[in-house]
Chain A
Amino acid sequence: STSSVLSTDKDKSAASKDSTTEGASKRQEGGAETPKQQLLDIIGNMKVEVSYRKKLQQLKANENTKQAMNELEGLDREGSVPQGTTEDTQRGKPLNPELVKAASAVASSLPHNKKETESELLAQLRRHEETTDKQKKGGAINIRNVILEMTVKRQSPAQRGARISGGISLQLDEDGRRIRPERSSAQSVDSRSLKVRKRLNIFTKASTEPEHTLKTVSPPTIWDLEFAKEVAAVTAQPPRNGFEEMIQWTKEGILWEFPVDNEVGMEDDAEFHEHIFLEKHLEAFPKEGPIRHFMELVICGLSKNPYLSVKQKVEHIEWFQKYFEEKKELLQEI
């Protein structure tokens, strides 16, 4: 039955925070009864459920009187059972006296060395208490602030959800300063201010100075070129299979790129009307006569030519223009 007793003891420590004033009063009464009866009474008292508000209040009280509790813990380690626990200190230390009492009762019920078991149980309880207090202390603050903020400011539901979910875990490290319930600060559009914030170091500053310093370096010397060529020659392994060979050929330019692009190397940005309507280039020519006739034929031929670019066509017409200007004297004689 020792194991069962120990398990119940752990349950007691877990449920120790659910104590109420009733427990205090009953505890004082139970001091006069037998140890077993004490045990049963304590268990019965501890199983009483408490509302959330009372729990929060107790936690708040815990923060305030943490030091006092530590002092009491020191006293309790001696093994003495504090029977005269006053009502005033009961709220501040709901854990210790009850737990100590329970521990003593359990130890007395056990056949082995009572003092030893009692001390061990108390140590366990202390550890448990410390861990739970740490967690609950942090949780209490954030939850409180979150609730207050929610009532004061208008926030996006995403932010609220994030805060609540993050409220349980400590968010004091991530933001430079935790969002406090500032009822007067309605200036910031979002609850997160755009001003002071710890740098996340995501973006690297585009510093222009190093670039300038690099550009002032002289162009690559012959030795650098030779070295680069050597490296390229060494790293260029012979192709392992036909595919790699074809890739190499494509890079060199021996093989076309598939699917075949008919306009490779041909970058004609001109529109179709520039190819066809070439009469505007004929302004320098006389408007009548055989030359004009001839040039119109030339233009007709050029407009049907898909192989020349607009530039080449214009050059063609300009050549004729130059030629006929040189021959002007001859033409006058005719």
Chain B
Amino acid sequence: LCATGKYHQFNLFNQVLPSPCPRQVRSYYVDWRMLRDVKRRKMAYEHADERLRINAIRKNSILPKELQEVADKEIAALPRDSCPVRIRNRCVLTSRPRGVKRRWRLSRIVFRHFADHAQMSGVQRAMW
């Protein structure tokens, strides 16, 4: 399973030197959709605290409603990519949006491929 296309990596400031690694090294994201998903995840992480606090004010029965309306407007004003709802758990290797097992972060096809080659630790073909 090799990368279909080479797309430029998101700008990382830390320099990563090429280390002598015998395994397959992925230095590019599989496709643009994966890249966008990565951006969304980063943004969601940055704004997570703010969103939590504003939501705490909104989902409240004690504070006055006017305050809550203001909070609604504020949270809507945040960048759209900062909400965690927009994150899609794609397959890490193929960027497949569907059929992804959460524990391994792999799509079903990749998972099957590795499991048959005995490269998944503790995974066995079920038979009962």
Given the complex of chains A and B, what is the CA–CA distance between A323 and B70 in angstroms? 11
Shortest Cβ distance from A55 into chain B, in angstroms?
Answer: 82
Q: Give how many B residues have a beta carbon under 8 Å from the other chain's beta carbons.
A: 13
User: Is A331 touching B53 in the complex (CB atoms < 8 A)?
Assistant: no
User: Is A330 touching B53 in the complex (CB atoms < 8 A)?
Assistant: no
Q: Which of B2-10, B38-46, B55-63 contacts A (4 or more CB under 8 A)?
A: B55-63
- Pick from B49, B60, B67: contact of A327, CB under 8 Å: B67
B19's nearest neighbour on chain A, judged by CB, is A233
A-B contact count (CB 8 A): 32
User: Is B63 touching A291 in the complex (CB atoms < 8 A)?
Assistant: yes
Q: Which parts of A276-334 form the interface with B (CB within 8 Å)?
A: 290-291, 293-294, 297-298, 316, 319-320, 323, 327, 330-331, 333-334
Shortest Cβ distance from A105 into chain B, in angstroms?
Answer: 93
User: Is B66 touching A229 in the complex (CB atoms < 8 A)?
Assistant: no
User: Is A316 touching B53 in the complex (CB atoms < 8 A)?
Assistant: yes
Shortest Cβ distance from A117 into chain B, in angstroms?
Answer: 87
- Pick from B17, B53, B62: contact of A319, CB under 8 Å: B53
Q: Does B122 contact A (CB under 8 A)?
A: no
B65's nearest neighbour on chain A, judged by CB, is A334
B50's nearest neighbour on chain A, judged by CB, is A319
Given the complex of chains A and B, what is the CA–CA distance between A193 and B10 in angstroms? 75
Shortest Cβ distance from A285 into chain B, in angstroms?
Answer: 13
The 4 closest A-B pairs by CB, nearest first: A290-B62, A294-B62, A293-B62, A334-B64
A sample of 13 cross-chain residue pairs with beta-carbon separation below 8 angstroms, ordered by A number, consists of A229-B17, A290-B62, A290-B63, A297-B62, A298-B56, A316-B53, A320-B53, A323-B53, A323-B57, A327-B70, A333-B66, A334-B64, A334-B66
